Copies of this chain bind each other. A is one copy, B any other.
């Protein structure tokens, strides 16, 4: 059914296609203006000397139709872990197993690094995603919340507390 789709590690030549997938998802989520990442930053951050992430892409007829992007994290209880930041499949290519193939590849990659855990975030109303993840053996935790300080809040905090020492 998806014999013509190839899953492979992304190269710098895929940067524009990766950014397009990111923007497409943000637009679908009605937050197109939230993507401030540029292609140049993506290239610098992901395809230089010390890549900040690893990315796998799904390719069909020389078109990138999906991707799984993640990076290492660290658990002070367990040790080295991996985080799956984005798992994206273009809307018109969903339902063909491309997302699962990307998910599987990412898990195999993480297992090859012998990480102690893989983790990711899921929206609490996205029950079909939660069901899918649980069916594959993942636990979806209910008692943790995410706290974030954005660029503006960081600047504000630094201005308020300019001295890093006690």
State the A residues within 8 Å of B (CB): 2-3, 5-7, 22, 25-26, 31, 34-37, 41, 45, 52-53, 69, 71-80, 83, 85-86, 97, 101, 104-105, 107-111, 115-125, 130, 133, 136-151, 153-158, 161, 164-166
Q: Do B77 and A35 touch across chains, with their CB atoms under 8 A apart?
A: yes
Q: Assess whether A149 is in contact with B154, with CB atoms less than 8 Å apart.
A: no
Determine whether the beta carbon of B157 is less than 8 Å from that of A149. Answer: no
Question: By the criterion CB–CB under 8 Å, are B79 and A36 in contact?
Answer: yes
Q: How many copies of this chain sit in the oligomeric assembly?
A: 2
Contact B166 A97 (CB under 8 A): yes
Interface of A, helix, strand, loop or mixed by DSSP:
mixed
A45 to chain B, nearest CB (A): 6
**Given A76-B85, A104-B161, 17 more pairs with CB closer than 8 A:** A2-B166, A5-B166, A31-B77, A34-B77, A35-B76, A35-B77, A36-B79, A73-B85, A111-B155, A111-B158, A118-B148, A121-B144, A121-B145, A121-B146, A136-B149, A142-B145, A146-B146
A75 CB → nearest B CB, Å = 7
